A and B are shown apart, each in its own frame.
Chain A
């Protein structure tokens, strides 16, 4: 067994961590994350330059990594600096292109890797409540191409993306796994309407609707009606990424809280000397280590050929960080007392992100039920 990072990964982690420490302190983060665009194009460009996006994709397709450990490493670092931006979209759309893209479609990867193209994964719908199969958006054949119709919910950076990956039903009923197809849709295609807004944890999202959007034949990614398996694989990468991001954020929240317990004095002593608080921090430490193990399991399983083993590890990780992330958020606010409630304290924003990660790509209830349903 070896849980050490290899040399390349350590160098990437160092470079990324150093850049974010210097260029992305909490005040900068909050200004851009809660600002008009919800992210900094400049910082995003630099992340791409350092290689944070390339590291998410395999070498054959122009990346330089793409293994589970690479993805976990990048997102843990992004989480520990609370980076708001479209990196998750680049990962999901990029992996979709790698898994199912034709040669022509894979040409788009270059723009994702160098940060010049902003991509968004548009799958959730107003009524799907995390269920992967519940796709009501439709695409029907029209000559050589397609006509897309429907609505997608809370698409991260969906109002700014140039490239949308959209799930749509080409056959079957809402709720069927069969009959789902995936499409590459230009953000500015006629008939694409967006309603953008800020998110409570920073960053942007949008309601995206498609009113008879005409697509060329090559917009279809993968086989017609066979999109579910692909969808599951893509979301799997998202589960790993969000779990690792959560881990990074909880480590930071833990460290900040420990520092506070050591320095904040009440009743004449540091509050960390109270046994009641010591035990709570000890519990937190145990839980965060469990989350780290869950992320390691998921990173190891992401390329596993056996679907059940892979998906169970991914759902286990997302369930774990959903539960533990919320606990860490609530406990670290509580341990900080009133100051933990303030906008001024970086921890408050970590706490919001930790809780909101549970609202992306399936919450702890969803993944616990899914884990139980996944059988050999």
Chain B
């Protein structure tokens, strides 16, 4: 047994670090570290920088612009990027649709859509969730009816993250109403810039609006935008969800949050001492750091097990649960460290370039909002309760 990274892996880490040092824009890293809201330009800009280096879709096959990195290398990249203040990559095109097209798409679809994901021609969003469906994804009601060389799609999608920026949506729709819940669903690619598509923002409890409802009324989708076979969409959707869940442990982001927490705890005073020396607060920090170290190793164990290729199965459910709980605890501690300064909420202070002096410690501007916003971590991507059901069934055989 060897818990050390190999010399090759360490060399790779150094390469990644040097790249980030040189190419990650400082102001962008500062925004990410401060927890400020990113603009569309911020995200597109970072994608373009990574794409130029050939590191954007790093888990795709080399043939389509990927890197042939091992799972451990991917982990190292995520880890280094998050520590340096690299933004989370917008996953919809790169991490979700890309792998589905590569595995199930036609040659034409791959040739057309994959380069456009890389160069940013398309901004994708995910049309999975529906009102009343949630984690019971198979109960979706949106329909696609074949008419000549088109499907006509009607229905409503919800929780469409960054749908306000998207020009394309990959979407699940029912093509056979008579079939059982999980059959009769098809995987369609929908152009958002056409009549019948209406995007309405949903304001979340922290005051932001990054998710949307999408209304689809007689939307025409050419037959060539069907991925794989008609009525087999559930298979592709499940494959995509496994990809969605692999990165969801978010080890790098937790490591970055822990560093931020430690910095804050060294500055904020309680009883004339830094919070980091306060017995109760220090205990809480120690507990979450131990949990994080453990989860990091769990994550690496899972990755080592799939080194030969493929994606983890139900193990990703474990990572999702632990990763989200740990991250929520870190955000909770950052909020708690603010004391009374968790209360002020100044919308403008959530963005970079606010000219006023901060109210309270600089981190206070976003601490409580981030805590509330990231309650979503244990809800989206299949709620943690659903993940536990998967573990019970798949791993425990119950």
Q: Which residues of A contact B129 (CB under 8 A)?
A: 338
Q: Does B380 contact A (CB under 8 A)?
A: yes
Known: A200-B368, A352-B205. A266 touches B340 (CB 8 A): no
Q: Does A25 contact B (CB under 8 A)?
A: no
Q: Are A337 and B379 in contact (CB under 8 A)?
A: yes
Tell me, in angstroms, the Cα distance from A13 to B278 when the chains sit together: 42
Q: Does B362 contact A (CB under 8 A)?
A: no
Q: Does A129 contact B (CB under 8 A)?
A: yes
Q: Which residues of A contact B203 (CB under 8 A)?
A: 342-344
Tell me, in angstroms, the Cα distance from A356 to B343 when the chains sit together: 7
Known: A129-B268, A205-B344, A359-B342. A337 touches B135 (CB 8 A): yes
- A-B residue pair count with CB separations less than 8 angstroms: 136
Known: A131-B271, A200-B369, A200-B372. A365 touches B342 (CB 8 A): no
Q: Are B372 and A334 in contact (CB under 8 A)?
A: no
Q: List 15 A-B contacts (CB under 8 A).
A: A130-B270, A131-B270, A197-B345, A199-B343, A200-B207, A200-B368, A205-B343, A334-B385, A338-B158, A340-B375, A341-B211, A342-B203, A343-B207, A344-B202, A345-B205
Q: A153-B341, A197-B345, A338-B134 are in contact. List 8 more A-B contacts (CB 8 A).
A: A129-B269, A175-B272, A205-B343, A266-B133, A334-B379, A341-B211, A343-B204, A358-B336
Q: Which residues of A contact B359 (CB under 8 A)?
A: 195, 197, 207
Q: Are A365 and B368 in contact (CB under 8 A)?
A: no
A150 to chain B, nearest CB (A): 16
Q: Are B336 and A153 in contact (CB under 8 A)?
A: no
Q: Does B159 contact A (CB under 8 A)?
A: yes
Tell me, in angstroms, the Cα distance from A207 to B360 when the chains sit together: 9
Q: Are A198 and B379 in contact (CB under 8 A)?
A: no
Give chain A's interface residues, CB within 8 Å of chain B. 124, 126-127, 129-131, 134, 153-154, 175, 195, 197-201, 205, 207, 265-267, 274, 276-277, 326, 330, 333-334, 337-338, 340-345, 348-349, 351-352, 355-356, 358-360, 363, 365, 368-369
A122 to chain B, nearest CB (A): 12
Give chain B's interface residues, CB within 8 Å of chain A. 129, 132-136, 139, 158-159, 202-207, 211, 268-272, 275, 278-281, 328, 332, 335-336, 338-346, 359-360, 368-369, 371-372, 375-376, 378-380, 383-385, 388
Tell me, in angstroms, the Cα distance from A33 to B368 when the chains sit together: 17
Find A363's partner among B339, B344, B346 (CB 8 Å cutoff).
Answer: B339
Tell me, in angstroms, the Cα distance from A266 to B343 when the chains sit together: 36
Q: Are A126 and B360 in contact (CB under 8 A)?
A: yes
Find B343's partner among A126, A201, A343, A365 (CB 8 Å cutoff).
Answer: A201
Q: Are A200 and B344 in contact (CB under 8 A)?
A: yes
Which residue of chain B has its CB nearest to the CB of A368? B280
Q: Which residues of A contact B346 (CB under 8 A)?
A: 197-198
Find B205's partner among A134, A276, A343 (CB 8 Å cutoff).
Answer: A343
Q: Which residues of B contact A153 (CB under 8 A)?
A: 340-341, 360
Find A199's partner among B158, B271, B345 (CB 8 Å cutoff).
Answer: B345
What 8 pairs across the A-B complex have the smallest Cβ distances?
A: A348-B205, A200-B345, A343-B203, A154-B340, A266-B136, A129-B270, A365-B280, A359-B342
A38 to chain B, nearest CB (A): 11
Q: Are B271 and A340 in contact (CB under 8 A)?
A: no
Find B269's partner among A127, A355, A363 (CB 8 Å cutoff).
Answer: A127
Find A351's partner among B133, B135, B205, B383 (CB 8 Å cutoff).
Answer: B205
Tell me, in angstroms, the Cα distance from A330 to B205 when the chains sit together: 13
A347 to chain B, nearest CB (A): 9
Which residue of chain A has its CB nearest to the CB of B375? A333
Tell me, in angstroms, the Cα distance from A352 to B372 when the chains sit together: 8
Q: Which residues of A contact B336 (CB under 8 A)?
A: 358-359, 363, 365
Known: A154-B340, A359-B338. A342 touches B270 (CB 8 A): no
Q: Are B342 and A356 in contact (CB under 8 A)?
A: yes
Main secondary structure of the interface of A (DSSP, over half): mixed
Q: Which residues of A contact B159 (CB under 8 A)?
A: 338
Which residue of chain A has its CB nearest to the CB of B340? A154
Known: A200-B206, A200-B372. A154 touches B378 (CB 8 A): no
Q: Are B280 and A342 in contact (CB under 8 A)?
A: no
Q: Which residues of A contact B335 (CB under 8 A)?
A: 355
Q: Are A267 and B376 in contact (CB under 8 A)?
A: no
Q: Which residues of B contact A205 (CB under 8 A)?
A: 343-344
Q: Which residues of A contact B270 (CB under 8 A)?
A: 129-131
Q: Are B345 and A342 in contact (CB under 8 A)?
A: no
Tell me, in angstroms, the Cα distance from A358 to B384 when the chains sit together: 26
With a 10 A CB-CB cut-off, give which of A154, A266, A267, A369 has the most chain B CB atoms: A154
Which residue of chain B has its CB nearest to the CB of A349? B205
Tell me, in angstroms, the Cα distance from A7 to B239 when the chains sit together: 64
Q: Are B375 and A330 in contact (CB under 8 A)?
A: yes
Tell me, in angstroms, the Cα distance from A274 to B135 when the chains sit together: 14
Q: Which residues of B contact A131 (CB under 8 A)?
A: 270-271
Tell me, in angstroms, the Cα distance from A102 to B250 when the chains sit together: 60
Tell me, in angstroms, the Cα distance from A334 to B385 when the chains sit together: 9
With a 10 A CB-CB cut-off, give which of B133, B269, B375 has the most chain A CB atoms: B375
Which residue of chain A has its CB nearest to the CB of B344? A197
Which residue of chain B has its CB nearest to the CB of A335? B385
Tell me, in angstroms, the Cα distance from A326 to B338 when the chains sit together: 16
Q: Which residues of A contact B139 (CB under 8 A)?
A: 266-267
Q: Are A129 and B385 in contact (CB under 8 A)?
A: no
Q: Which residues of A contact B328 (CB under 8 A)?
A: 330
With a 10 A CB-CB cut-off, give which of A343, A345, A349 has the most chain B CB atoms: A343
Q: Are A359 and B372 in contact (CB under 8 A)?
A: no
Q: Which residues of A contact B384 (CB under 8 A)?
A: 334
Q: Which residues of B contact A130 (CB under 8 A)?
A: 270, 339-340
Q: Which residues of A contact B371 (CB under 8 A)?
A: 355
Tell me, in angstroms, the Cα distance from A343 to B345 when the chains sit together: 15
A115 to chain B, nearest CB (A): 24
Q: Which residues of B contact A352 (CB under 8 A)?
A: 205, 372
Tell me, in angstroms, the Cα distance from A175 to B335 when the chains sit together: 24
Q: Which residues of B contact A356 (CB under 8 A)?
A: 342-343, 368
Q: Which residues of A contact B268 (CB under 8 A)?
A: 129
Q: Which residues of B contact A154 (CB under 8 A)?
A: 340-341, 343-344, 360
Q: Are B338 and A266 in contact (CB under 8 A)?
A: no
With a 10 A CB-CB cut-off, give which of B270, B340, B359 has the most chain A CB atoms: B340
